[in-house]
Chain A
Amino acid sequence: MLNYSLKRLASAIPTLLILITVAFFLIRIAPGGPFDSEKGLPAEIEANLEAKYQLDDPLVIQYFRYLGDIARFDFGPSFHYRDWTVNQLIAQGAPVSFTLGGIALILAFVVGTLIGVWAALKQNSLSDYLTMSVAMIGISIPNFVAAPLLILLFAIALGWLPAGGWDGSIQRMVLPAIALSLPMIAYVARITRGSMIEVLHSSFIRTARAKGMPEHEVLLRHALKPALLPVISYLGPAAAAILTGSVVIERIFTIPGIGSHFVQGALNRDYTLVMGVVIFYGVLIIALNYLVDLLYAWLDPRIRYDR
């Protein structure tokens, strides 16, 4: 097991290097530059700016200098938000995205599995169809529709919760967390239901029931663990996506997470910021996939990688 984990860790480094290289050259290929504006810049001022940000060196030299910088965990100054470094911007945005994403993730996991298990137990009943139809709608309604609806209902019509903004208080987290988790709840519920039904029909459950084991123990001790496997493999990458923030939710609720850096950074040609968030996201995905693999081994004794 230890051997396996180390091997997995080592393979992460070339993956990251490829990611960095591709991202670095892709963003530079995009037309336009970080200092373009509709007002236009006199040539000498543009030259001054490029010199200040060391954009006047050959691209390959810039690339190797950048590799050297990130080896020291220095992501450089943001070209667009000129008073901040990329490190500062990520340090400011990541906790916000983590908090919001974490709540949404827990919400999705708890509510989603509960609904899924319940629907599986009541398979083909009215409540099964009802919950699964709602789940289907949850999956198909995009965030940018659900979020304004939530605001209209809870912030404007009822006035219970704020319409947006972020100050770390629970009230301001409720609506964005719900909006963020809605489609995930639906996914998790459907996946859980499917795998739960499959597990409930397998022979070891029949054996457990035949032994006269109480139903709740059958469910909790024997059925739930294997039924959660597909949920876990879905939640791994989904967690990376949700923890790094959602552009849509951040925009609608004006939340200062790092999600919008992905899109705004690219639109602003903020080279360093784009690289920073791409690397951050890459590391997170690799780490979470690694975690999922370990969880798998723990949940399913048949999986033994080091054998």
Chain B
Amino acid sequence: MSISRTNSGVLAASAVVLWLALLATGCGDPTAPQEPRQPIRLDEPVPLVFDRAGEPEPEILAEDQELHRGNGEEPQTLDPHRAEGVPTANILRDLFEGLTTTAPDGRIVPGAAGRWDISRDGMIYTFYLREDGRWSNGEPVTAADFVFSFRRSVDPDTAAVFGRMLMPIENAQPILAGELEPEALGVEALNDRTVQIRLDDPTPYFLGLLTHASTYPVHAPSLTEHGDDFVLPGNLISNGAYRLVDWVPRSRIELEASPNYHSAGQVIIDRVLYYPIEDENTEFQRFRAGDLHWTDQVPSNLFDWLGANLPQALSVSPWFGTYYFGFNLTRAPFEQNLPLRRALNLAIDRRILTEKVTQFGEIPTFTLVPDGLPDYEPPVPDYAALDQAEREELAREMYRRAGYSDDDPLEVELRYNTSENHRKIAVAVSAMWKQVLGVRTRLINEEFRVFLQNRAMKRNTEVYRAGWIGDYQDAFTFLELFHSQHPRNDAGYANPRYDRLLEQISTERIPARRRNLMVEAERILLAGQVVMPVYTYVTKRLVSPLLKGWEPNVMDFHPSQQMYFVKSRAQVEAEIEAAPETETGSGEAEDVTVVDEGTT
């Protein structure tokens, strides 16, 4: 073997390595520093033009109205009463329609029921179904369908995960526990088109609950015919704007507009494809390649890059959820040690966490219930008004009062489930505790279900990471979490006064009094330092600039039936060029409203 040959081999090998390295840095890492350049060009939409009824003018609509949505996890089931999770809810919202539904901005609007009456005491709701409400097979949607469905949802045999959503309805609780027959539920058909629902307690958010999948109607005859297989393509009969065409598990779910839907004439998107894509980087690449119009997530490390390169597609808006840390209150060191819990809470610099760690415009918070509810103002603690240096001073004082010092520091375990984001936040928090108080934190990273079990058992856990997304638009969905009997009260918080307050809230009929009780409950929770709220979640996604008709909303509900594609500017210019002879409309100008995206 000659030396020169060996050298040339090594040389060749290193050349290949170098080439691969160049390839990798050239396009493999979008976060790498780059020459400033133009944002990626996406098609620019034409200005929006609406007719008098507020519908988009046909001329601006694109020919192809097929929507491709990235949708996170594969749904566990399309049975609305057994479903759980946000991705499934997105699909079910297109397939089914509850008694009420939501407008693009999240307002509650009539759904399968065209209108309703509420009794003066807030305990009896009477819903009048639409005359033209029909199932996807053409049969009318009747009051009996709703009675059947509500009963099925609370029937223990259904084993519905969200059966508890229906708890406010008369007798729902004993039925779920198997003490009463489902027929005892307070839902009744007064006639073919009238459903009456009696509640145990006045529930101001009840109309909002009725947008939840657990209250959707299911088609009784197809359940009898197909049993549990009634949700499969070919079998599923639904009452929403779309019907199920195809479902290939972990590949795609295909829907098409249902001609029997009561408002079928207003549905513009005629076909929707949901793709279960769990990996956010994969989803991002597929959006870039033009495969998707709508993503469920964006890669968490790409905020700057997206802001610079895809600003016209990036949508970030507040969500109805809170990221927080909880204390295990049932054992040392946090049992009966308010100063210590307060010290750890004050030492966290939320601004740094959201600006430097999570980076997507998450909103720093000191309260459990997120801001932005129309009829609720969270009781912000006094220390929120201080600056961080003052809070840290206070934290050190509390820490000393709790009996710890530099010589005798606290040693604590911080537990979180495996995720890059959780890891980064936990590392930052432990660094802050170390720096401000000298606390020695051991970070424990666990697989999700191990983590959940440890949290619930309250044996090993000391401090745990948690997050809560509200199930319905009311502060109660956060507050009830700390009832001593709630299955997810992993802090082990058991305060009889708090429990009593929650029960009072449930039965209170006067809105203003109810609101005050809820504020009082949250104040107790925060004063007791049961949790350390960190930030309000945001939803973040990429959306094709040509897709219109949707708005960011706090519940993150985006039914496909409200959306539509508009033509691109380039397309319209090409059309005008191709047909210069065509007359342009003249006398109709006053009939339309033009909204130029550039100015809004």
Please list the residues of chain A having a beta carbon within 8 angstroms of any beta carbon in chain B.
30-33, 35-45, 48-49, 51-52, 80-84, 89, 92-93, 124-126, 128-130, 132-134, 136-137, 141, 145, 148-149, 151-153, 155-157, 159, 162-167, 251-256, 260, 267, 269
For residue A96, give the distance in angstroms from its CB to the closest CB of chain B. Answer: 8
For residue B88, give the distance in angstroms from its CB to the closest CB of chain A. Answer: 11
**If the complex has contacts A40-B488, A48-B159, A165-B286, are A31 and B450 also in contact, measured as CB distance less than 8 A?**
yes
A156→B310 CA distance, assembly (Å)? 15
For residue B464, give the distance in angstroms from its CB to the closest CB of chain A. Answer: 11
A93→B281 CA distance, assembly (Å)? 23
A157→B285 CA distance, assembly (Å)? 11
Kindly state whether residue B375 has any CB partner on chain A within 8 Å: no
- Selected contact of A83 from candidates B8, B78, B291, B450, CB within 8 Å: B78
Q: B488 contacts A81, CB within 8 Å?
A: no
Kindly state whether residue B82 has any CB partner on chain A within 8 Å: yes
Count, chain B residues at interface, CB 8 A: 68
Q: A44 contacts B177, CB within 8 Å?
A: yes
For residue B79, give the distance in angstroms from its CB to the closest CB of chain A. Answer: 7
Q: B9 contacts A126, CB within 8 Å?
A: yes
- Selected contact of B13 from candidates A31, A80, A129, A162, CB within 8 Å: A129
Q: B178 contacts A44, CB within 8 Å?
A: yes
Q: What's the count of A-B pairs with C-beta under 8 Å? A: 182
**If the complex has contacts A31-B450, A81-B76, A81-B249, are A163 and B285 also in contact, measured as CB distance less than 8 A?**
yes
- Selected contact of A163 from candidates B159, B164, B291, B448, CB within 8 Å: B291
Interface residues of B in 314-334 (CB under 8 A from A): none
Q: A152 contacts B488, CB within 8 Å?
A: no
- Selected contact of A92 from candidates B157, B248, B488, CB within 8 Å: B248
**If the complex has contacts A162-B291, A251-B282, are A48 and B12 also in contact, measured as CB distance less than 8 A?**
no
> Mind listing 15 A-B residue pairs with CB under 8 Å?
A32-B450, A35-B161, A37-B452, A38-B452, A45-B176, A48-B178, A52-B157, A93-B249, A126-B12, A132-B9, A148-B281, A156-B285, A156-B288, A159-B289, A254-B282
A82→B88 CA distance, assembly (Å)? 12
Nearest-CB residue, chain A, relative to B485: A42
Q: B77 contacts A32, CB within 8 Å?
A: no
A31→B455 CA distance, assembly (Å)? 12
For residue B285, give the distance in angstroms from its CB to the closest CB of chain A. Answer: 5
**Contact residues in B for A136 (Cβ distance below 8 Å):** 13
**Contact residues in A for B17 (Cβ distance below 8 Å):** 137
Q: B289 contacts A52, CB within 8 Å?
A: no
A133→B16 CA distance, assembly (Å)? 8
- Selected contact of B449 from candidates A33, A44, A155, CB within 8 Å: A33
Interface residues of B in 15-46 (CB under 8 A from A): 16-17, 20, 23-24, 27-28
**If the complex has contacts A149-B28, A260-B250, are A155 and B285 also in contact, measured as CB distance less than 8 A?**
yes
Kindly state whether residue B278 has any CB partner on chain A within 8 Å: yes
For residue B91, give the distance in angstroms from its CB to the closest CB of chain A. Answer: 12
Given contacts A45-B164, A83-B228, A126-B12, 4 further A-B contacts (CB under 8 A): A32-B453, A39-B84, A42-B163, A148-B28
Nearest-CB residue, chain B, relative to A251: B279
**Contact residues in A for B281 (Cβ distance below 8 Å):** 148, 252
Please encode chain B, from 423 to 454, with 1 for each CB lying within 8 Å of some chain A CB and 0 for all others.
00000000000000000000000011110111
Q: A166 contacts B289, CB within 8 Å?
A: no
Q: A124 contacts B249, CB within 8 Å?
A: no
A249→B503 CA distance, assembly (Å)? 51
**Contact residues in A for B164 (Cβ distance below 8 Å):** 42, 45
For residue B434, give the distance in angstroms from its CB to the closest CB of chain A. Answer: 28
**Contact residues in B for A167 (Cβ distance below 8 Å):** 251
**Contact residues in B for A89 (Cβ distance below 8 Å):** 249
Please list the residues of chain B having a beta carbon within 8 angstroms of any beta carbon in chain A.
1, 5-6, 8-10, 12-13, 16-17, 20, 23-24, 27-28, 74, 76-79, 82, 84, 156-157, 159-161, 163-164, 176-178, 228-229, 231-232, 248-252, 275-279, 281-282, 285-286, 288-289, 291, 447-450, 452-454, 456, 466-468, 471, 486-488
Q: B157 contacts A83, CB within 8 Å?
A: no
Nearest-CB residue, chain B, relative to A131: B12
Q: B156 contacts A31, CB within 8 Å?
A: no
- Selected contact of A52 from candidates B159, B252, B275, CB within 8 Å: B159
A289→B453 CA distance, assembly (Å)? 40
A269→B286 CA distance, assembly (Å)? 29
**Contact residues in B for A49 (Cβ distance below 8 Å):** 159, 161
Q: Which of B17, B157, B275, B279 has the most CB of A within 10 A?
A: B279
Q: B13 contacts A92, CB within 8 Å?
A: no
A269→B451 CA distance, assembly (Å)? 13
**Contact residues in B for A155 (Cβ distance below 8 Å):** 285, 289
A125→B1 CA distance, assembly (Å)? 9
A65→B248 CA distance, assembly (Å)? 30
A125→B4 CA distance, assembly (Å)? 10
Interchain residue pairs A-B with the least CB separation, the first 5: A129-B9, A32-B449, A40-B488, A133-B13, A163-B289
For residue A161, give the distance in angstroms from its CB to the closest CB of chain B. Answer: 9
- Selected contact of B5 from candidates A38, A126, A145, A149, CB within 8 Å: A126
- Selected contact of B487 from candidates A40, A83, A132, A253, CB within 8 Å: A40
A36→B446 CA distance, assembly (Å)? 15
**If the complex has contacts A36-B452, A45-B160, are A164 and B282 also in contact, measured as CB distance less than 8 A?**
yes
Nearest-CB residue, chain B, relative to A123: B1
Q: A82 contacts B12, CB within 8 Å?
A: no
**Contact residues in A for B157 (Cβ distance below 8 Å):** 48, 52
Q: A44 contacts B250, CB within 8 Å?
A: no
**Contact residues in A for B9 (Cβ distance below 8 Å):** 126, 128-130, 132-133
**If the complex has contacts A40-B487, A133-B12, are A164 and B286 also in contact, measured as CB distance less than 8 A?**
yes
Q: A164 contacts B450, CB within 8 Å?
A: no
**Contact residues in A for B79 (Cβ distance below 8 Å):** 82-83
Q: B82 contacts A82, CB within 8 Å?
A: yes
**If the complex has contacts A44-B156, A83-B228, are A256 and B450 also in contact, measured as CB distance less than 8 A?**
no
Nearest-CB residue, chain B, relative to A155: B289
